[in-house]
Amino acid sequence: MILDHELLKGLLRTLTPALYQDLQIVGKDAQDRCATYLKEDPKVIRYRETLEQDLRKFEAALYDLRDIPGIDSIREYEEDADSGTDYSD
């Protein structure tokens, strides 16, 4: 317990100055600075949006393929995906 206590005190001693001085989370305009720290990179936002668009397109294509008679492999793929089968190899 003493070791845990000392480790936590040490962390507190180093973390407190980092938060208050280095990151400047208090004082004038602190809320704006904190919002900036939490702001997501625009490249990541665009990439996620692109992936979401691709996913919608693929899901629409999969839905259309289901209507083609004789294509059972899509249903088998979906069943395997639901069961956790990995096709990455």
Tell me, yes or no, whether 5 lies in a domain.
Answer: no
Q: pLDDT per residue over 29-75, tens digit each?
A: 888 888 888 899 999 999 999 999 999 999 999 888 888 776 666 56
Tell me, yes or no, whether 68 lies in a domain.
Answer: yes
DSSP assignment string, 69-85:
TT--HHHHHHHHHHHT-
Q: Show the tokens assigned to 62.
A: 């999969």
Residues 6+ apart with CB under 8 A from 34: 25
Tell me, yes or no, whether 77 lies in a domain.
Answer: yes
Tell me, yes or no, whether 49 lies in a domain.
Answer: yes
Q: pLDDT per residue over 5-27, tens digit each?
A: 888 888 888 887 877 777 777 77
pLDDT at site 10? 83
Tell me, yes or no, whether 20 lies in a domain.
Answer: no
How many domains in the chain?
A: 1
- Domain boundaries, position 72: 41-84
pLDDT at site 85? 58
Would the pTM count as exceeding 0.75? no
Tell me, yes or no, whether 29 lies in a domain.
Answer: no
Q: Are 37 and 23 spatial neighbours (Cβ–Cβ below 8 Å)?
A: yes
